Amino acid sequence: MDARTASPVSDTLLRRLAGFTEACRHRPLTAAETDAMVTRLIDAMACAAIATGGEDFARLKATFVDERQPCTVIGGGRASLEHAAFLNSFLIRQQDWNDTYIGRNGGHPSDLIGGVLAAGEYTGKSGAEILRAIAIGQHVMLDLCDTGEVLARGWDPSTYLGIASAVGAGVLLDLSEAQLAQAISMTVVSGNILMGRTGKVSSWKGLSSAVAVRNSLFYGLLAKNGLTAPDPVFEGPFGFTRHVSGDLDLELDPQRDRTGDTHLKLYPAVYHAQGPIEAALKIHRRMNETFGEKLPAIESAHLDIYEFALRYAADTPDKWVPENVETADHSLPFLTAHSLIAGEYGPGSIARTLRDPAVRALAQKVSVSASPSFSKVWPEHTGSRLTVTAAGKTFSEEIDVIIGHPKRPMSRDTVLEKFLACASLKTDLATAQRWAEQLTDFPRLASISRALAGS
């Protein structure tokens, strides 16, 4: 059977997803929507730029980069469509500094950007067309996160991401509505990824999204060449909703603007630590004002936070004695201890203090508990309160909404500062500034290759 001539799909949700995408693909973004997507693109590229210097990426680059191939890898080098999608997505995700979204389920919508960029370059699309495809994929990701029970059932957010990536990339691969339904179905039937970012966190934290994105593009190519997929796939006795997600009540309103709904991160750490890090840095400054530069030993530190944060950042004993950076940047006790002692938090901070005896000793003193009041209003508010005692004095800071939350958004200037700080670690400041200008001008680019390479 050929996807190009197959009968209309019977699966209601599959048909709705394909129809939603078809309705959105011809609607240009407004100026405000474009601005929101450019900001998120720059933020994602900042995360990718700093990750190009990592050891894990060096290993992957040695295996997958091939200068004879058609697609640009972020920061330079070339690869096949699928490998560029994989590498780009890995770079965006690896530092755990890219955006997040908290609905009924969590996830990282910008993880799909790497695949959409690869698909857009592969098909020669303009910057404006690529931004629109990113926005469509992000919309699907957010609507998925707002329903179902994938996290509660033990599935990774990458399970939803693959579906959203199939949509965003499928638009740029010029899939028809019928072909897009086949690509989504292939992703749904094969892309269910178990939760792998709790306890001892590993390299898989940065790989799961990249694998989901890479696979979704592969399925797009299969569908474009006439291959077909199961129908129904969401519904029925063996369907996705019965065995993976639970009921999916997707809104899928093409007129709804979701471009500004994701949460950006100021600090390179798990989302739930953004408030505690800010609170700890404020307490460090207050202690300096009180005691001078030589701070007394901290006797105790207690963190109150919403209950959901404990599931991913204070869930096992490993979080109090992290043995690698991946676990440390998902550890509320360690991140709090580091920020209290160091008085700073940025790229490379954890690597510098992972084995610091003082930080590790203080992490043992950090207690964490779920606050009923913070849990009740989460995620509309992302509250946390840190209370520290030292030399007979008590210091407390409460954060109601973290920086980067839609209620306290990061400005374009702040995102550009983040990008320049990250890109300057890869290249000189002048080149980083030119790269930032290309990304700011992304909606007007006829070709995106140079904006990807940063040249």
Closest CA to 94 of 214, 198, 208: 208
Q: Which residue has the tokens 């701070």?
A: 295
- The structural domains of the chain, with segments of one domain joined by +, span 12-264+445-453, 271-399
Query: Which residues have C-beta within 8 Å of that of residue 287, sequence separation ≥ 6?
Result: 295, 388, 390, 395
Banded model confidence at residue 133, pLDDT cuts 50, 70, 90: very high
Length of the chain: 455
The predicted pLDDT at position 244 comes to 97
- Concatenated DSSP letters of 76-105: S-EE-HHHHHHHHHHHHHHTS-S-BEESSS
309 half-sphere exposure, CB direction, 13 A CA radius: 30
Q: Which residue has the tokens 């005692």?
A: 389
Strand, coil or helix: 270: coil
Q: Residue 282: what are its φ and ψ, rounded to 5°? A: -65, -40
Is the bond preceding 372 in cis, omega lying within 30 degrees of 0? no
Q: Which CATH number fits domain 271-399: 3.30.1330.120, 3.30.450.20, 3.30.420.40, 3.40.190.10?
A: 3.30.1330.120
Query: Which residues have C-beta within 8 Å of that of residue 6, sequence separation ≥ 6?
Result: 178, 182, 228
The predicted pLDDT at position 79 comes to 98
Banded model confidence at residue 312, pLDDT cuts 50, 70, 90: confident
The predicted pLDDT at position 4 comes to 56
For residues 82 and 114, give the distance between their C-alpha atoms in angstroms, rounded to a whole number.
Answer: 10
Residue 164, classified by CB atoms within 10 Å of its CB into exposed (0-12), middle (13-18) or buried (19+), is: buried
Per-residue model confidence as pLDDT tens digits over 72-89? 999 999 999 999 999 999
The predicted pLDDT at position 374 comes to 98
Task: Assess whether pLDDT exceeds 60 at residue 5.
Answer: no
Q: Which residue has the tokens 């569908």?
A: 223
Average pLDDT over residues 270-297: 96
Q: Which CATH number fits domain 12-264+445-453: 3.30.499.10, 1.10.4100.10, 3.40.50.2000, 1.10.10.10?
A: 1.10.4100.10
Q: Are 78 and 68 in contact (CB under 8 A)?
A: yes
Query: Which residues have C-beta within 8 Å of that of residue 63, sequence separation ≥ 6?
Result: none
Return the percentage of the chain with pLDDT > 90, whole number.
91
Mean of the per-residue pLDDT values for the chain?
A: 95
Task: Assess whether pLDDT exceeds 90 at residue 197.
Answer: no
Q: Are 350 and 328 in contact (CB under 8 A)?
A: yes
Per-residue model confidence as pLDDT tens digits over 385-431? 999 999 999 999 999 999 999 999 999 999 999 999 999 988 999 99
Q: Residue 80: what are its φ and ψ, rounded to 5°? A: -65, 165
Same fold, 12-264+445-453 and 271-399: no
Banded model confidence at residue 363, pLDDT cuts 50, 70, 90: very high
